[in-house]
Amino acid sequence: MLVFANPMFLWALTAAGIPLMLHMFQRRKTVVTPFPTLRFLKAAQKRSSSRIKFENFMLWLLRTLLLIMLGLAFALPVLRTTAGGSWLTRTRRDVAIVLDASYSMNYELDRGKVWDVCKEASVGVIEGLLSGDRVCVYVAADTPIPVIEKPTTEHATVVQAIRALPCLPGSSKLDETVALALHALEQQEGRREREIYIMTDGQAVPWQGFRDAAKKEEKAGAADKAAISREQRDKVSFFALLAGALQPDNACPSDVKVTPALLLAGQSARLNVRVARTGTAKQITVAVEVDGQERGRRGITADADAESSLEFAIGGLEPGIHVAKVTTPQDALPDDNEFLFLLRVRKQLPVLIAGPKEATRYLKAALAPGAADDSVKQVEAAELESVDLRDYQAVFLCDVFPLAGQSVMRIEEYAKTGGVVIVFPGDRADTAAYADMKILPAQPKGTVDIPVELAARPLKRIPNQKDQVVNFNLSLPPGTVPTVALKRVLTLGELQENAAVLVTAGDGVPFMTGRAVGRGRVFMFAVAANRDWSTFPLTAFFVPVVHQLIRQGAGASVQPTHLVPGSNIPANESIPNYREDDAIATPSGAQLAVKDNGNRTFFIESLTEPGIYTRAKAGAAQPEPVLAVNTDRFESRLTPITPQELTEWTGFKKLLTAKDPEELTRLIDEYRNGRSLAEVFLWIALLLSLLEWWFANRALRTQTGATEKMTVDLAGKVVTS
Amino acid sequence: MSDEGIGAYLNPAQMSKLNRLALNSRYVVEGTLAGRHRSAQKGASTEFADHRSYMPGDDLKRVDWKVLGRTDKYYIRRYQDETNLRVYLLVDRSGSMNYTSGEHKTKFNYACTLAAALGYVVLKSRDAVGMYIYGEKMDAALPCKNSFNELNNALKILQGYKPAKGTAGADVMHQIAESISRRAMVIIISDLLDDQPEIIKAIAHFRKNHHDVIVFHTLDPVELSLDIRRGAEFEDLETGERMIADPRAMAKEYKDLMGAFIEDYRKSCSEMKVDYRLVKTDEPVDTFVRAYLEERKRLSR
Co-location of B209 and B250 in the same domain: yes
User: pLDDT tens across B235-292, in order?
Assistant: 888 888 888 887 877 888 888 888 899 999 999 999 988 989 888 888 888 888 888 8
| Phi (first) and psi of residue B53, to 5 degrees | -65, 145
Determine how many CB atoms are found less than 10 A away from the CB of residue A466.
7
Rounded to whole angstroms, the Cα distance separating A583 from A562 reads 19
Co-location of B171 and B242 in the same domain: yes
- A411 sits in the region (left: phi over 0; alpha: psi -120 to 50; else beta) called alpha
Average pLDDT, chain A: 83
**pLDDT-derived band at A225, boundaries 50, 70, 90:** very low
Burial class (CB in 10 A: 0-12, 13-18, 19+), A403: buried
Q: Is A702 on the interface with B (CB under 8 A)?
A: yes
User: Do the domain assignments include residue A605?
Assistant: no
Co-location of A329 and A401 in the same domain: no
- pTM of the predicted model as reported, rounded to 2 decimal places: 0.54
Interchain pair A38, B266: CB under 8 A: no
Query: Using CB atoms, which residue from A55, A705, A718 is nearest to B262?
Result: A718
Instruction: Kindly report the CATH number assigned to the domain that includes residue A209.
Output: 3.40.50.410
Co-location of A149 and A232 in the same domain: yes
pLDDT of residue A116: 94
Of A501, A527, A556, which one is at a domain's C-terminal end?
A556
Cβ contact B280:B191 at 8 Å: no
Co-location of B38 and B102 in the same domain: no
**Looking at the predicted structure, is the pLDDT value of residue B36 above 60?**
no
A540 or A680: whose pLDDT is higher?
A680
Instruction: Kindly compute the dihedral angle of the four CA atoms of residues A632, A635, A638, A639, in this order, to the nearest 10 degrees.
Output: 130
Co-location of A239 and A368 in the same domain: no
**pLDDT-derived band at B1, boundaries 50, 70, 90:** very low
pLDDT of residue B193: 87
User: pLDDT tens across B60-114, in order?
Assistant: 888 889 888 999 889 988 766 556 678 899 999 888 888 888 777 889 999 999 9
User: Do the domain assignments include residue A613?
Assistant: no
Co-location of A367 and A502 in the same domain: yes
**Looking at the predicted structure, is the pLDDT value of residue A281 above 80?**
yes
Average pLDDT over residues A465-486: 65
Q: Identify the residue among B93, B94, B216, B225 best suited for mutation to test binding to A, counting A beta carbons within 10 A and taking the highest.
A: B225
Interchain pair B250, A33: CB under 8 A: no
Task: For residue A636, give the 3-state DSSP assignment.
Answer: helix
**pLDDT-derived band at B41, boundaries 50, 70, 90:** low
Rounded to whole angstroms, the Cα distance separating A122 from A134 reads 14
User: pLDDT tens across A332-364, in order?
Assistant: 998 889 999 999 888 777 889 999 988 888 888
**Looking at the predicted structure, is the pLDDT value of residue A136 above 90?**
yes
pLDDT of residue A705: 42
Interchain pair A33, B235: CB under 8 A: yes
Interchain pair A712, B278: CB under 8 A: yes
**Looking at the predicted structure, is the pLDDT value of residue A721 above 60?**
no
Q: What is the largest CA-CA distance in chain A?
A: 142
User: Do the domain assignments include residue A621?
Assistant: no
| Integer CA distances (angstroms), A289 to A286, A325, A327, in order | 10, 5, 8
Q: Is A708 on the interface with B (CB under 8 A)?
A: yes
| Integer CA distances (angstroms), A687 to A56, A62, A194, A691, A693, in order | 19, 10, 40, 6, 10
Count of domains observed in chain B: 2
Within 80-139 of A, beta carbons closer than 8 Å to B belong to none
Percent of chain A topping pLDDT 70:
87
Co-location of A26 and A153 in the same domain: no
Instruction: Give the per-residue SS3 of B154-175.
Output: HHHHHHHCCCCCCCCHHHHHHH
- Packing angle of the helix pair B107-124, B148-160 (nearest 10 deg): 170
Co-location of B13 and B117 in the same domain: yes
Q: Is A713 on the interface with B (CB under 8 A)?
A: no
Query: Using CB atoms, which residue from B251, B257, B269 is nearest to A705?
Result: B251
Co-location of A307 and A388 in the same domain: no
**pLDDT-derived band at A224, boundaries 50, 70, 90:** very low
Rounded to whole angstroms, the Cα distance separating A37 from B93 reads 16
Co-location of B172 and B203 in the same domain: yes
Cβ contact B294:B286 at 8 Å: no
- Sign of the CA dihedral with A418 first, then A420, A426, and A428 last: negative
Give yes or no for a cis peptide into A451 (omega within 30° of 0).
Answer: no
Q: Is A313 on the interface with B (CB under 8 A)?
A: no
Cβ contact A633:A336 at 8 Å: yes
Rounded to whole angstroms, the Cα distance separating B41 from B50 reads 12
DSSP string, A308-368: EEEEEEE--PPSEEEEEEEE----S-GGGSEEEEEEEEES---EEEES-HHHHHHHHHHH-
**Looking at the predicted structure, is the pLDDT value of residue A184 above 70?**
yes
**Looking at the predicted structure, is the pLDDT value of residue A706 above 50?**
no
Of B83, B98, B120, which one is at a domain's C-terminal end?
B83
**Looking at the predicted structure, is the pLDDT value of residue A228 above 50?**
no
Q: For residue A696, what is the enclosing H or E element? A: helix A678-696
CA distance B235 to chain A (A): 5
A28, closest residue in chain B (CA to CA):
B232
Checking DSSP bridges between strand A718-720 and strand B86-92, what pairing results, if any? unpaired
What residues in A contact B279, CB-CB < 8 Å?
Answer: 712
Q: For residue A137, what is the enclosing H or E element? A: strand A134-140
Of B66, B83, B100, which one is at a domain's C-terminal end?
B83
Residue A40 neighbours by CB under 8 Å, 6+ apart: B254, B257, B258, B261
Interchain pair B237, A714: CB under 8 A: no
CA distance B297 to chain A (A): 13
Instruction: Kindly report the CATH number assigned to the domain that includes residue B147.
Output: 3.40.50.410
In what side-by-side order are the strands of the sheet with B232-236? A32-35, B232-236, B242-245
Rounded to whole angstroms, the Cα distance separating A238 from A233 reads 9
**Looking at the predicted structure, is the pLDDT value of residue A707 above 50?**
no
Burial class (CB in 10 A: 0-12, 13-18, 19+), A461: middle
pLDDT of residue B150: 86
Rounded to whole angstroms, the Cα distance separating A135 from A155 reads 7
Within 36-65 of A, beta carbons closer than 8 Å to B belong to 36-45, 47-48, 51-52, 55
Q: Is A30 on the interface with B (CB under 8 A)?
A: yes
User: Do the domain assignments include residue A280?
Assistant: yes
Rounded to whole angstroms, the Cα distance separating B260 from A210 reads 77
Co-location of B54 and B133 in the same domain: no
Average pLDDT over residues A594-619: 82
Of A292, A315, A347, which one is at a domain's C-terminal end?
A347
Region of poorest pLDDT, from A212-216, A286-290, A551-555, A652-656: A551-555
User: pLDDT tens across A618-676, in order?
Assistant: 677 788 898 999 888 888 888 889 888 888 888 888 888 999 999 999 888 888 777 77
Of A297, A323, A347, which one is at a domain's C-terminal end?
A347
What residues in A contact B228, CB-CB < 8 Å?
Answer: 33
Cβ contact A238:A646 at 8 Å: no
User: Do the domain assignments include residue A570?
Assistant: no
Cβ contact A517:A498 at 8 Å: yes
End-to-end CA distance of chain A: 58
Co-location of B12 and B64 in the same domain: no
Co-location of A397 and A285 in the same domain: no
Query: Using CB atoms, which residue from B247, B253, B266 is nearest to A47?
Result: B253
Determine how many CB atoms are found less than 10 A away from the CB of residue A297.
12
Rounded to whole angstroms, the Cα distance separating A35 from B219 reads 12
Percent of chain A topping pLDDT 90:
24
Q: Is A695 on the interface with B (CB under 8 A)?
A: no
Instruction: Kindly report the CATH number assigned to the domain that includes residue A321.
Output: 2.60.40.10
Tell me the β-bridge partners of B34: B83
What residues in A contact B255, CB-CB < 8 Å?
Answer: 704-705, 720
Residue B40 neighbours by CB under 8 Å, 6+ apart: B28, B29, B30, B81, B183
Burial class (CB in 10 A: 0-12, 13-18, 19+), A657: buried
pLDDT of residue A221: 55
Determine how many CB atoms are found less than 10 A away from the CB of residue B240.
12
pLDDT of residue A138: 95
Burial class (CB in 10 A: 0-12, 13-18, 19+), B149: exposed
Q: What angle do CA B81, B86, B89 make, to 5 degrees?
A: 160
Interchain pair B228, A38: CB under 8 A: no
Co-location of A23 and A154 in the same domain: no
pLDDT of residue A710: 43
pLDDT of residue B33: 53
Co-location of A377 and A437 in the same domain: yes
Strands (E), B73-228: 75-83, 86-92, 128-134, 138-145, 185-190, 212-219
User: pLDDT tens across A20-73, in order?
Assistant: 887 777 666 667 888 888 888 888 888 777 777 887 888 888 888 988 888 888
What residues in A contact B276, CB-CB < 8 Å?
Answer: 716
H helices within A75-173, ranges in order? 85-90, 114-127, 155-163
Q: What is the largest CA-CA distance in chain B?
A: 85
Rounded to whole angstroms, the Cα distance separating A470 from A555 reads 10
Co-location of B109 and B226 in the same domain: yes
**Looking at the predicted structure, is the pLDDT value of residue A218 above 80?**
no
Average pLDDT over residues A272-279: 92
**pLDDT-derived band at A576, boundaries 50, 70, 90:** confident
Q: For residue A439, what is the enclosing H or E element? A: none
- Helix and strand tally (H, E) in chain B? 9, 10
Co-location of A221 and A309 in the same domain: no
Interchain pair B259, A718: CB under 8 A: yes
Region of poorest pLDDT, from A174-183, A496-505, A655-664, A702-711: A702-711
Average pLDDT, chain B: 83
Q: Identify the residue among A55, A712, A719 best suited for mutation to test binding to B, counting B beta carbons within 10 A and taking the highest.
A: A712
Cβ contact B104:B110 at 8 Å: yes
**Looking at the predicted structure, is the pLDDT value of residue A394 above 70?**
yes
| Phi (first) and psi of residue B192, to 5 degrees | 55, 25
User: Do the domain assignments include residue A453?
Assistant: yes
A33, closest residue in chain B (CA to CA):
B234
Co-location of B103 and B171 in the same domain: yes
Q: What angle do CA A452, A456, A458 make, to 5 degrees?
A: 160
Q: Identify the residue among B220, B237, B252 best suited for mutation to test binding to A, counting A beta carbons within 10 A and taking the highest.
A: B252
**Looking at the predicted structure, is the pLDDT value of residue A123 above 90?**
yes
Co-location of A389 and A494 in the same domain: yes
Residue range of the domain that includes B68: 34-83
Count of domains observed in chain A: 4
Q: Is A719 on the interface with B (CB under 8 A)?
A: no
User: Do the domain assignments include residue A631?
Assistant: no
Co-location of B150 and B226 in the same domain: yes
End-to-end CA distance of chain B: 38
CA distance A68 to chain B (A): 27
User: pLDDT tens across A366-386, in order?
Assistant: 887 665 566 788 888 888 888
Query: Using CB atoms, which residue from B99, B217, B227 is nearest to A34?
Result: B99
pLDDT of residue B40: 57
- Helix and strand tally (H, E) in chain A? 16, 39
pLDDT of residue A465: 58
User: pLDDT tens across B155-197, in order?
Assistant: 888 888 888 887 788 888 998 888 887 888 899 999 888 888 9
Tell me the β-bridge partners of A514: A500, A523
**Looking at the predicted structure, is the pLDDT value of residue A14 above 50?**
yes
Task: For residue A541, give the 3-state DSSP assignment.
Answer: coil
Instruction: Kindly report the CATH number assigned to the domain that includes residue A405.
Output: 3.40.50.880
In 3D space, the residue among A634, A607, A78 whose CA is nearest the CA of residue A335 turns out to be A634
Co-location of B134 and B220 in the same domain: yes
- Sign of the CA dihedral with A56 first, then A61, A62, and A67 last: positive
| Integer CA distances (angstroms), A559 to A321, A388, A498, in order | 12, 19, 21
CA distance B263 to chain A (A): 7
Determine how many CB atoms are found less than 10 A away from the CB of residue A57.
10
pLDDT of residue B126: 80
Rounded to whole angstroms, the Cα distance separating A378 from A355 reads 8
Residue range of the domain that includes A552: 351-556
Co-location of B176 and B66 in the same domain: no
Co-location of A133 and A219 in the same domain: yes
Query: Using CB atoms, which residue from A34, A36, A48 is nearest to B253?
Result: A48
pLDDT of residue B42: 57
Average pLDDT over residues A510-514: 90
Cβ contact A364:A378 at 8 Å: yes
- Alpha carbon A596 to chain centroid, angstroms: 29
Rounded to whole angstroms, the Cα distance separating A551 from B56 reads 154
In 3D space, the residue among B202, B14, B181 whose CA is nearest the CA of residue B90 turns out to be B202
| Phi (first) and psi of residue B48, to 5 degrees | -65, 140
Rounded to whole angstroms, the Cα distance separating A379 from A135 reads 70
